[in-house]
Chain A
Amino acid sequence: MKKIRPLAAVAVGLVATSGLAACGGGDSGGGTKGAGYNAAVDKVINASDTKGGELRLAISDDFDSPDPGNTYYAWSQNFVRLYGRGLLTFKPSAGPDSNQVIPDLAEGPGQTPDNGKTWTYKLRSGVKYDDGTPVTSKDVKYAVERSNFSDELQLGPKYFKAYLQDNSTPYKGPYKDKSPEGLKSIETPDDNTITFKLAKPFAEFDYLVAMAQSIPVPQARDTGLKYEQKMASSGPYKVDSYERGKSMILSRNPNWDKSTDPIRKALPDKITLQLKQSGDDIDNRLLAGSLDVDAAGVGVQAGTQGKLLTDQTKKANTDNPLQGYLRFASLNLHVKPLDNVHCRRAVQYATDKVAMQSAYGGPLAGGDVATTILPPGIVGYQKFDKYPQTYKQGGGLDDKTLQAAKSELQQCGQPNGFKTKIAGRSDRPKEIAMAQAMQQGLKQVGIQTDIVQYPAGDYFNKYVGAPEFVHKNGVGIMLMAWSADWPTGYGFLSQILDGRAIKPSGGNNLPEEDNPAINKAFDDAIGNTDKDARAKIYGQIDQMAMDDAVDIPIIYAKALLYRPSNLANVGISQGYGGMYDYLNLGVKK
């Protein structure tokens, strides 16, 4: 008998297994033809009103909390609307339309008689919880009080606390303050009316009440930190079970009345969300048709991208939307020689953005090369390019661009370049790859850099978000990514460019930009109820910051999402940062 050579056997085995691996995935989830590449970016596709079936979602993470008052994650804000109705919400739509906030529990948008200092909402009549009790304005007030003022619920945003008038004795939240009036700046003259009184005008208050924290919570059913285990439902579904790290199961809320809810279709009979699943397995299940949605909405894994893009049938089921994120590099104004605007401008010119884009995953998984701080799709975005770059045929910045950088170095008094550090997150390999690409680009004009890596968990609290650390260690350039809590220039820019957002630690204004003109522009905008005028100011703020050259926009982040053909009413929501809108999804049988 002829002996088998061990090496040959191993080779045959490996070839066989890799071939089989490539077979993973089945029939594009449902077998019908996809609607086309990017079909769901600007319009809702596979429209359907057919009820029934089970919508299956999975995610590789868990909620921060499914309690609407205690969550910040974008996907969670999107998802909780299935079992809770806030005063307003983002329109279940696609494209620019999905940035609009529309009435949900409220009958209409907020009414403000005093240019944004007082906001009143009228609630729809007849809305009930899953136990049949009516929803009242007092429950909305209570929800805002518990989520923003209690010591226990700390995971969600605190915008109401920041903008509402406080009591004469600071309000401590409903768990400590048992007085019947609670926070006096939220008034509920009757069961269907709620009025918010702010400390100063805030023209974008409608966006704040579109967050999950305005979803009503009846005080009698509130169990504080345990509320996530047994939540009151005001939406079309109720939560049958939520097990941390495992799953959430929703079924129909028998007391939801379609006549009170013009925006929801409530198609599936059952919704399951599996938590803490392997990202690769989620992709395989989507392709095989045994899963309908990756709830994270941040795109398929790197290994799956090739599989989707090389197969035209599968590609027809993909979308490549902007994610509302900007990946950028901040230049600290207090680290020499970057305190000189010309040195910062030299870095602007000499940063090889295309190489950094490639390092992050290329145009599809990384995103488009950016020239503005505000990404497209955010209210106030204006297209401009203060530091135009051109590239050589085979890649790399051309001589003209490098010359522009050198000219700025001359004006900075550093004709031969200088030394500084680039910071990135050690546990984000793609960010470190970007830092390396940046390092190579800067080297061409004599700017020598060392890459310093810090763990993501402490990145802002301890390192780049702590000015003292940054100054002491001479960290001139810091890589980061940013998205808005609501899709306007104020929502996006105020935390990263307003001088009043500089903090001793945990801040996001990494350059420590404190330009009085920019600070004033923020105040002017947010006190102006004319949304077009606000949008114009946001564009001007972007221009001013780019004049100061404090941030280098690198890429407008994009992701490659997959939608099985059996999924109905699919559209990319810009309001939730470029993921599918979960409100009206259904499954075709």
Chain B
Amino acid sequence: MPRIVFAYLIRRVIGAVLMLVIVSMVVFGIFFGIPKIAGQSNDQLAASFVGKAPTAEAIAQTKHRLNLDKPIWVQYGKWVKGVVIGQDFNNGPSVEHCSSPCFGYSFKNNQAVLPQLEDRAPATLSLAAGAAVIWLISGVSVGVLSALKRGSVWDRAAMIVALGGVSLPIYFTGLLALAIFSYKLDLLPGGGSYVPFSQNPGTWFQSLILPWITLAFLYAATYARLTRAGMLETLGEDYIRTARAKGLPERTVITKHALRSTLTPILTIFGMDLGLLLGGAVLTEHTFGIAGLGQLSIDGITGNDLPVVLGVTLVAALFIVVANLIVDLLYAVIDPRVRLG
């Protein structure tokens, strides 16, 4: 690896770590700061982790157990300490040690956060990666064809479908797909059928077909429209005319010259989209009953569960950083002008 690339990577990794630290501080600040501004006390926060009609004693015990009776910087310090050197957790009859990096324990279900993230990540990864392959291939292909057949019935039909894809929410298209293909035609498994790849690859694949297609439909539509617009713009450029004038085959003009140029911005958006999705495809996971990071984040947010919110946010931020880094490196492959060294 050239030295300059190595230095670039080191700079990006340091930047990513700094960003994650800032994200963790911001999440901590939002969790405690905004409710405080609105007047919420720590007692009220603790009461959400006690059963119906909580007593003052139960609230006090819970506040102490969750460290909510400590100042915010002390709580943040304890969390950072857990990440760096681990922490102990009192189960009642015993104390268990959570090794570094320990992201704390859920306020709601008292389980260590990191194993929950590890447990949920494969489902989200399966969903996002499969859908990404479908939407990238189909979206770009449709966009290219639409641009080449501009104004044709194909172009109009494709753009109408794309408009539908962008406009229809996943909880509509997902439920519709389930109603038709699972419950009416009985062709594919219904909601809640997801199993991990390691458990049964066949069922894993079958159970993800509808979620993949539904999720990809939304994104493919956007990509088709972007690709079409990009291609139309590129095809009007002077260098394309030059390439054609040189007698290059149309196929070469399209794939090596026009598409390559169009793909650069598409790739940027793809990196962002995939990174975001890896942090949790909330609606798709909810509609199809897939226990992924998206569901975990929603549970964390609705349950005032700071350690879980923090964990999912950091993972999502990490995915976005990594996806962007990969995209930046891929620019060099696609576009010789940005090649390093």
Indicate which residue in A175, A245, A504 contacts B299 across the interface (CB closer than 8 Å): A245
Q: What 1/0 flags go to B104-148 for Cβ under 8 Å of A?
A: 000001110000100100000000000000000000000000000
Residues in chain A near residue B47, CB distance under 8 A: 461, 505-506
Beta-carbon contact of B157 and A4 below 8 Å: yes
B91, B192, B295: residue with the most chain A Cβ atoms closer than 10 Å = B192
Contact B289 A72 (CB under 8 A): no
Contact with B along A155-196 (1 / 0, CB 8 A): 111100000000000000011000000000000000000000
The CA of A4 and the CA of B171, in the complex, are separated in Å by 29
Q: Which residues of A contact B183 (CB under 8 A)?
A: 24-26, 284-285, 287-288, 290
Contact with A along B76-114 (1 / 0, CB 8 A): 000000000000001111101000000000000111000
Q: How far is the CA of A223 from the CA of B95 in the complex (A)?
A: 10
For A290, the chain B residues whose CB sits under 8 A away are: 183, 190
Interface residues of B in 276-299 (CB under 8 A from A): 286-289, 291, 295-296, 299
List chain A residues, Cβ under 8 A from B286. 278
**What CA separation (Å) do A62 and B308 show in the bound complex?**
16
Which of chain B's residues have a CB closer than 8 A to the CB of A174?
93
A562 to chain B minimum Cβ distance, whole angstroms, is 14
Query: B289 touching A274 by the CB < 8 A rule?
Result: yes
Q: Which residue of B lies closest to A279 (CB)?
A: B286
User: Does B3 sit within 8 A of A, measured CB to CB?
Assistant: no
- Say if the beta carbon of A519 comes within 8 Å of chain B: no
Residues 268-312 of A, flagged 1 when their CB comes within 8 A of B and 0 if not, give 000000101110111011011010000000000000000000000
Listed stretches B17-25, B58-66, B256-264, B330-338; interface member? B58-66
Does any Cβ of A come within 8 Å of B175's Cβ? yes
The reply to whether B54 and A72 contact each other, CB–CB distance below 8 Å, is: no
- CB pair A20 B180 closer than 8 Å: yes
Contact A284 B175 (CB under 8 A): yes
Secondary structure call for the A interface: loop
Q: Contacts A25-B183, A276-B291; is A224 near B51 (CB within 8 Å)?
A: no
Q: How many positions in chain A have a CB within 8 Å of any CB in the partner chain?
A: 64
Fill in one digit per residue for A207-243: 1 if any B CB lies within 8 Å of its CB, else 0. 0000000000000001111100000000000000001
Interface residues of A in 504-544 (CB under 8 A from B): 504-508
B44 and A278: CB pair below 8 A? no
Known: A24-B183, A158-B55. A153 touches B287 (CB 8 A): no
Name the residue on A nearest B159 (C-beta): A6
Q: Which residue of A lies closest to B179 (CB)?
A: A24
Centre residue among B53, B111, B190 by max chain A CB count within 10 A: B53
What chain B residues lie within 8 Å of A281 (beta carbons)?
A: 175, 178, 190-192, 287-289
Q: How far, in Å, is A56 (CB) from chain B's closest CB?
A: 10
What chain A residues lie within 8 Å of B93 (beta carbons)? Answer: 174-175, 222-224
Residue of A nearest to B49 (CB): A154
Contact of A225 among B41, B92, B289, B299 (CB under 8 A): B92
8 Å CB interface, A452-476 against B: 457-458, 461-462
CB 8 Å contact bits of A60-101 with B (1 = contact, 0 = none): 001011000000100000000000000000000000000000
A223: chain B residues at CB < 8 Å are: 91-94
Q: How many residues of B contact A (CB 8 A)?
A: 59
Contacts of A277 in B (CB 8 A): 191-192, 289
Contact across chains for A151 and B304 when beta carbons are under 8 A apart: no
Task: Answer yes or no: B184 CB below 8 A from chain A CBs.
Answer: yes
Whether A6 lies near B92 (C-beta < 8 A) is no
Residues of A close to B291: CB separation below 8 A: 243, 245-246, 276
Closest to B189 in A: A290
Asked if B44 contacts A226 (CB within 8 A), the reply is no
When distances are taken between beta carbons in the complex, the residues of chain A under 8 Å from B164 are 10, 13
Q: Across the interface, which residues of B come within 8 angstroms of A64, CB to CB? A: 51
Kindly state the separation between the CA atoms of A246 and B32 in the bound complex, as whole angstroms: 29
User: Given A245-B296, A245-B299, does the pair A461, B43 have CB atoms closer than 8 Å?
Assistant: yes
Who on chain B is nearest to A427 by CB? Answer: B302
Q: Contact: A458 with B295, CB < 8 Å? A: no
Query: Which A residues lie within 8 Å of B94 (CB)?
Result: 223-224
The CA of A274 and the CA of B295, in the complex, are separated in Å by 14
Contacts of B55 in A (CB 8 A): 158
Q: Give Cα distance in the complex from A245 to B291, angstroms.
A: 7
Is A505 within 8 A of B44, CB to CB?
yes
Contacts of B62 in A (CB 8 A): 151, 154
Is there contact, CB below 8 Å, between B153 and A280?
no
Considering the complex, give the chain A residue whose CB is closest to the CB of B303. A457
Mark each residue of chain A from 251 to 265: 1 if its CB lies under 8 Å from any CB of chain B, else 0. Answer: 000000000000000
- Complex: how many Å from CA A506 to CA B55? 8
* In the complex, per-residue mask of B150-169: 1 if CB is within 8 Å of any chain A CB, else 0: 00010011001001100000
CA distance A72 to B153 in the complex (A): 60
Are B153 and A1 touching (Cβ within 8 A)? yes
A146 interface residue (CB < 8 Å to B): yes
Q: Which residues of A contact B48 (CB under 8 A)?
A: 457, 461
Chain B contacts for A392, CB-based, 8 A:
none
With A and B bound together, what is the CA distance between A151 and B119 in angstroms? 28
| Interface flag for A3 (CB, 8 Å) | yes
Residue numbers in A under 8 Å from B246 (CB-CB): none
CA gap between A10 and B162 in the complex, in Å: 11
**Bitwise interface map of A from 375 to 403 toward B, beta carbon under 8 Å scored 1, else 0:** 00000000000000000000000000000
Q: How far is the CB of B296 from chain A (nearest CB, A)?
A: 7
Return chain A residues, CB-CB under 8 Å to B249: none
Q: Chain B residues near A505 (CB, 8 Å)?
A: 43-44, 47
Contact assessment for A6 and B51 in the assembled complex, using a CB-CB cutoff below 8 Å = no
Q: Within 8 Å CB of A3, what residues of B?
A: 153, 156
Question: Given contacts A6-B160, A24-B184, A224-B94, is CB(A457)–CB(B304) below 8 Å?
Answer: yes
Judged by a CB distance under 8 angstroms, whether A436 is at the interface is: no
Which chain A residue lies CB-closest to B58? Answer: A154
- B304: chain A residues within 8 A (beta carbon): 457
B-side contacts of A495, CB under 8 Å: 53
C-alpha spacing A156/B58, complex, angstroms: 11
How far, in angstroms, from A510 to B218 measured CA to CA in the complex?
A: 47
In the assembled complex, the Cα of A62 lies from the Cα of B305 at a distance in Å of 15
Q: A21-B179, A155-B51 are in contact. Are A146 and B92 (CB under 8 A)?
A: yes
Bound-state CA distance A153–B40 (Å) is 24
User: A155: which B residues are within 8 A, CB to CB?
Assistant: 50-51
Q: Does B26 contact A (CB under 8 A)?
A: no
Instruction: Spell out B's residues near A (CB within 8 Å).
Output: 39-41, 43-44, 47-56, 58-59, 61-62, 64-65, 90-94, 96, 109-111, 116, 119, 153, 156-157, 160, 163-164, 171, 175-176, 178-180, 182-184, 190-192, 286-289, 291, 295-296, 299, 304
Some 24 contacts from A to B, beta carbons below 8 A apart, are A1-B153, A3-B153, A4-B153, A9-B157, A21-B175, A24-B178, A26-B183, A152-B90, A152-B91, A158-B55, A222-B92, A223-B91, A223-B93, A244-B109, A274-B192, A276-B295, A278-B289, A281-B175, A282-B191, A284-B175, A285-B183, A290-B183, A462-B39, A505-B47
Q: 10 smallest A-B Cβ distances: which pairs?
A: A224-B92, A24-B179, A281-B191, A288-B183, A224-B91, A152-B92, A225-B110, A277-B289, A72-B51, A151-B61
